[in-house]
Structure formats: structure tokens, C-alpha cells
């Protein structure tokens, strides 16, 4: 069913729309996040659920009532703050849907979980930090690295702790920013950050360790070099054991402003190092090959 069909069908049922809440994929259709669904799930407060005079039996295993082939009415936990209204129908919002899908963690929901999470983070790139703040965790560091791809130059990692509700319009993954914007953000982050640490692993150590382990070493050095010890660390994708609680976030440099800040510090720091190399060895054009793999240079 598409959105218009879904609205019509729900309103046609003899249910109190002040009590019923549309959840899961049906709520995503009503919010225009997905186009259609064959599965429509509803929930309601337990007192209303218990009072309804059902015409069919409730499935004891799942505690839901099937009142047509594609419909289920289900009593489950929901947070009132995650309820919005669309066409006079109560709907679980995207944040609630994400929590719901994470709770059940169904295989068929894997992609939707990623899509919803990324969408919400683009709307609010302080989401992960705010959740930790609510737990009483204040010194939250973002950690990211650059230099794993290029064949020239070191791996550079940065650890950044930002002040609460730090804002920098346009801050995202450093790879998606222009060089001019990175330099601008680099200065602002350096001015406002509570703590910054940088870790650098040169080419020789990279060859000794391998690039993956070298990246971990750079990250640990960045954390150790931070002038303030973080209480929790948000890391872009990579798991890291460093004696401090960590959260590894896929595409973290797009989802977390703190990781984005670390990405910028690491990227600009490494770029400056390659600019210095370029001045020393202009024939290799390090200034232009700071991102790509310099295969032509190596052939020379």
C-alpha cells in the first residue's frame, strides 16, 4: 500500500484514532521515507488494547491481533515523545522507528536501519553526543584518520573534544569539503575545541606494522596526546581498544560532528606535512598527490 491507500484503510477501521499509533514500515510510508509496504503494524496503550472486543483470537506468541491479511494490532512499548500526527493519524516518528527496528534487529531491516540513522544524523549531527550527554558523559571525543589510501605520506589521526552544542555550519567529512573550507574549519575547531590530540605514523612504521595496525597506533597516539582525557570516544567505523569506552560508527564522519571535526584536523595536518614535502622535493609534486595514490610518481 502507498500512503493514500494506507490513510484511507486505517481511517475506515472502527478504531479510536486517538489511541492507535502506526508503527514500523507503515509509519515510514506515512512520513514519505519509503513508498509502500505490505505490512501495517499498529500499537496502542495497554488499557485500550485490553478493552477492545476482538472478533478473532490474539496470537499468544506475538501478542498481536490480525484483523486483515496485512494488518496487525500490537501492544508494545513506545515513547510518547516519538509520536507525531499525520492526517489526524498518530504515527511513530523516525527516531522511534529506528529504536523499534534496532530492538528487533531483523535481517530485512538492516538497510532501513542504516538509511534512517544516516538521514537523522544529517538533520542533527549531534545525535550521538546528545545521547551520551543524557547518560552524564560530558567529555566526548571524536577520532578519525586520514592517509590509509595514498601510497605517499603518513597516517595521521586526530582526537577532538568539542564544547557542548558546538555548531559549525557545513562541517562534515573532510573529504567532502573544499580545501579552502577545510582550512577555515581547521582554524575554528582549533580555537574552540576543549581538547585536541594528533597521532602520526610514518611510512617506515606503516611498512613494519601494515596499514590497518598503523591506523590503530595513530589513533591511540592521538588519544594519548589529547590535552584532556575523554570519558567516551566516538570513532569512524574502526573498533579500537584504548582503555576508554568507545562507540564505532559506520560513516561516523558524516553522522557525528565530533568525528567530523577530528576528520578535518587530521586531514589538514596531513596536508600541511605534504606541502612541506612538496617544497623540499618539488619534482614529485606532493602538493597535488596528497589524496590519490601517486602511481605515476612511483614509476618515475
Do 170 and 92 share a structural domain? no
Give the strand pairing for 40-43 and 21-23: antiparallel
Based on the fold, state whether residues 237 and 98 are members of the same structural domain.
no
DSSP state of 240: -
Same domain, 114 and 22: yes
**Nearest residue to 6 via CA among 49, 43, 35, 46:** 35
Buried b (16+ CB within 10 A) or exposed e, 47-61: eebeebeeeeebeee
Residue 33: which domain range?
A: 3-123
Pair 204, 274 in one domain: yes
154 touches 200 (CB < 8 A): yes
| For residue 195, pLDDT beyond 90 | yes
Same domain, residue pair 145 and 95 = no
**Domain tally for the chain?**
2
* Chain segment 154-168, per-residue pLDDT in tens: 999 999 999 987 888
Query: Residue 28: pLDDT above 50?
Result: yes
**CATH code of the domain in which 141 resides:** 3.30.420.10
pLDDT score at 299: 40
Whether the Cβ atoms of residue 228 and residue 194 lie closer than 8 Å to each other? yes
Instruction: Judge if 103 and 158 occupy the same domain.
Output: no
pLDDT at 296: 39
More confident residue, 89 or 62: 89
Number of Cβ within 10 Å of residue 269's Cβ equals 21
Q: Is the pLDDT score of 63 beyond 90?
A: no
Higher pLDDT, 205 or 62: 205
Pair (119, 147) in one structural domain? no
Question: Which of 2-16, 34-48, 59-73, 142-156 shows the lowest per-residue confidence on average (mean pLDDT)?
Answer: 59-73
What is the torsional sign of CA 243, 248, 253, 256?
Answer: negative
The last residue of a domain, from among 123, 150, 166: 123
| Confidence bin at 68 (pLDDT 50/70/90) | low
- Determine what percent of the chain is predicted with pLDDT higher than 70: 87
Cα(251)–Cα(254) distance, integer angstroms: 6
User: Look-up: residue for cell 484483523?
Assistant: 67
- pLDDT category, 182, cuts 50, 70, 90? very high
- 144/258 Cα distance (integer angstroms): 9
Q: Between residues 104 and 67, which one has the greater pLDDT?
A: 104
Same domain, 235 and 279: yes
User: Which bin fits 153, alpha (ψ -120 to 50), beta or left (φ > 0)?
Assistant: left
What percent of the chain is modeled with pLDDT above 90?
Answer: 60
User: What pLDDT band is residue 61 in, cutting at 50, 70 and 90?
Assistant: very low
3 state DSSP class of 73: strand
More confident residue, 122 or 197: 197
Q: What is the edge-to-edge ordering of all strands in the sheet holding 140-146?
A: 195-201, 155-161, 140-146, 232-236, 246-249
More confident residue, 49 or 241: 241
Of 71, 96, 123, the residue at which a domain comes to its end is 123
Tell whether 152 and 236 lie within a shared domain.
yes
Overall average pLDDT of the 42-48 stretch: 82
- Backbone φ, ψ for residue 32 (5° rounding): 60, 25
Check whether residue 270 and residue 289 sit in a common domain: yes
Looking at residue 42, which CATH number applies to its domain? 3.30.460
Residue 298 binned pLDDT confidence (cut-offs 50, 70, 90): very low
Last residue of a domain, one of 89, 123, 157: 123
Position 151 pLDDT exceeds 50 = yes
Are 72 and 154 members of one domain? no
Place of cell 527496528: 101
Amino acid at each position: 500500500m502507498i500512503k493514500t491507500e494506507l490513510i484511507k484503510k486505517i481511517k475506515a477501521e472502527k478504531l479510536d484514532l486517538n489511541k492507535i499509533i502506526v508503527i514500523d514500515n507503515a509509519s515510514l510510508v506515512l512520513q514519505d521515507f519509503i513508498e509502500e509496504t505490505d505490512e501495517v503494524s499498529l500499537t496502542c496503550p495497554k488499557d485500550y488494547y485490553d478493552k477492545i472486543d476482538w472478533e478473532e483470537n490474539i496470537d499468544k506468541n506475538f501478542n498481536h491481533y490480525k484483523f486483515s491479511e496485512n494488518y496487525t494490532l500490537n501492544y508494545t512499548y513506545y515513547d510518547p515523545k516519538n509520536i507525531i500526527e499525520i492526517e489526524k493519524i498518530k504515527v511513530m516518528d523516525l527516531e522511534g522507528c529506528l529504536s523499534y527496528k534496532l530492538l528487533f534487529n531483523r535481517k530485512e531491516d538492516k538497510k532501513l536501519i542504516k538509511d534512517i540513522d544516516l538521514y537523522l544524523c544529517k538533520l542533527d549531527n549531534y545525535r550521538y553526543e546528545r545521547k551520551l550527554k543524557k547518560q552524564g558523559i560530558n567529555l566526548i571525543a571524536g577520532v578519525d584518520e586520514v592517509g590509509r589510501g595514498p601510497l605517499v605520506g603518513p597516517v595521521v589521526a586526530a582526537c577532538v573534544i568539542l564544547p557542548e552544542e558546538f555548531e559549525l555550519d557545513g562541517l562534515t567529512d573532510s573529504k567532502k569539503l573544499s580545501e579552502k573550507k577545510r582550512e577555515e574549519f581547521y582554524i575554528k575547531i582549533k580555537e574552540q575545541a576543549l581538547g585536541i590530540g594528533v597521532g602520526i605514523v610514518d611510512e617506515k612504521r606503516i611498512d613494519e606494522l601494515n596499514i590497518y595496525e598503523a591506523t590503530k597506533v595513530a589513533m591511540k597516539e592521538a588519544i594519548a596526546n589529547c590535552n584532556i582525557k575523554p570519558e567516551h570516544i566516538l570513532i569512524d567505523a574502526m573498533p579500537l581498544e584504548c582503555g576508554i569506552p568507545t562507540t564505532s560508527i559506520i560513516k561516523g564522519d558524516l553522522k557525528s560532528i565530533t568525528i567530523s571535526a577530528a576528520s578535518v584536523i587530521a586531514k589538514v595536518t596531513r596536508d600541511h606535512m605534504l606541502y612541506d614535502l612538496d617544497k623540499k622535493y618539488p619534482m614529485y609534486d606532493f602538493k597535488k598527490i596528497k589524496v590519490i595514490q601517486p602511481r605515476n610518481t612511483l614509476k618515475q
